[in-house]
Structure formats: C-alpha cells, structure tokens
Amino acid sequence: MRYIDKNTGKAEGNGITDDYLENECRTTDPLSDSVRYMNIDYSGSFTNKGYRGRMLELAMFTQKKYCCYCLRKIGNSKQATLEHIIPQNASSTSRYDQYGELSEGEIVLTKDYSLAHNQERPPYPHTIAWDNLVVSCKGQFPLDNSVSSHCCNNARGSLYAPPVYYLQDIESRITIMNDGSIHAKVGDCQDEIKSTIVAAKLNYTALKEIRRLWYELRNIPYREIVRCLYDRNQRMKILVYAFKDVDDFHSIFKYQKDDYWKVFMKYHLFYRIFKETY
C-alpha cells in the first residue's frame, strides 16, 4: 500500500457526484416548491448512466492505475473495480471517521442523506462520494481461474478495512519481508493496518510469491527483467538465479509461462520498494 491523495481530483470527483444528484435524483415538491434528492442508487442509475465510469476513470488517473491494496498496475478500467471504503451496506461511519476524508463533515450514509432536512453538500452520500471510492484490482491470478477473486476489493467484501492508504506515511508503517509477506509495524494505527491486510488478503500465497521474486531480483538491472517479457531464455536464467532452492523448482516452471510472468510484471513497483529498503 502507498499514500493516496484524494485532494488530487477532488473538485472533479465531487463534480461527478453533483452532476448525478442534479441530473438523476433531483425532485421538486409541487406544493412547497422545495428541492429534494431521492433515489440515490449506485448499482442502478449511477452506474447505468455513466457516472460510475467517469468516477472510475478519474480515480484510475489519480492513483496512476495502481491498486489501492496490492499495488498491481491496472491496465484499463475493465480490469478495475471501485472500492467502497465504507461499505455500501454500512449502518454507521463511526469506525472510519478518524480519517479526515471520511469525517462527518465530508461523508454521510446515503440513507441518512436521503432523509436529511438539509441536503447541502458536503457531506456527500457515501455510496457515490469521491472520498469513499478508490480503485482496486479484481484480485485475479492465472494460477486458479476457477476463483473469481483472491485478494483486494472483491475478496474483502464488507469486512472492516480502514483506508490506511490515506496516511501520508503509510509506507514507513509497514514492513515487507524477504519472503514476500507484509506486516504492520508496531506503533500508531498498527491494528488498523492489520485489519486492512487481513480483510484484503494481502498475504495471499500468490502475492507473497510475487513480492518475494521481486525481492530476489532487486539487484538485477531492470531492463534485463523487462527483457524477459519476450526472451524466454533470459527469463529462465533470471528465474534460476532467483529461485535457488530445490523446493522452488515449481516456481521456476510456473513463471516460465507467459501468463504468470505478465502478472508478475504488473507488480513492478516492488522493484523500487525493495531497492530502497534493502
């Protein structure tokens, strides 16, 4: 995980929500002439009328197409999901409001917004609010196509996963071990970070293996690693260098396959992380 600055794109993101509310949800009481915003539906009109697509593209741009959880590089919006930090079915925002982006002045439950006497914004209804939406990958790996999602948004579901990527120093609060596992350091927010790691399944076997491989290759020139995309002999040479143990023979065989190697390369950010850390 790394810091996500929601101030980048905030005006445009809030503008998408405003457009949706004004164009799709605005009603006027014929007797009092008062304006109300009703029938706010993320899965329905927000998605069907293209507002979700606009929000997803903006969030992809501001996150530089990296998954908010596992840091996979996401190729395009078809490979991405919009993660609701406060789940769509949440009954309270209380466990999330310690983060300024999700404070009561910025975010309110959609059902409470719909019933509120004052519907001025902010706060924004949580199911369609810029600050409550981040981009996640689908958590899929070629090794087990029968499972739709192994980690990140879809695997998390509605489990408590506080947005620790809203902490500016999040990278200094986590440790990635040379076996590829990720852990929260002792200190403030340790429990919150642990909760997110567990909920998003960031120590899933394939993720640990990929991070471990990047650790082993951290001293190999990056251009030689990129060359492996089209040079399988080079790939074999690098894999034999990385996986030295007899027990790792299955990993060499696995990453010789193009599909596995392409997924591995989507986690290239760990090359820099390990170069700077070890």
Q: Compute mean pLDDT per 10 residues along the chain, 278 residues long, and list them.
A: 96 98 92 88 97 97 98 93 96 94 96 94 98 96 71 93 97 95 95 97 94 94 95 93 77 90 96 90
Distance CA 46, CA 34 (A): 23
pLDDT at 149: 77
271 in Cβ contact with 222 (< 8 Å): yes
Calculate the alpha carbon distances from 50 to 16, 43, 137, 192, 257 in Å.
10, 11, 20, 34, 37
Which residue ranges make up each domain of the chain? 10-137, 204-278
Q: Which of 231, 160, 226, 147 is nearest to 197 (CA)?
A: 160
Q: pTM of this prediction?
A: 0.94
Beta-strand pair 174-176/80-84:
unpaired
Q: Please give the helix or strand (H or E) that residue 207 lies within, else none.
A: helix 205-216
Q: Which two tokens stand for residue 182?
A: 């990720």
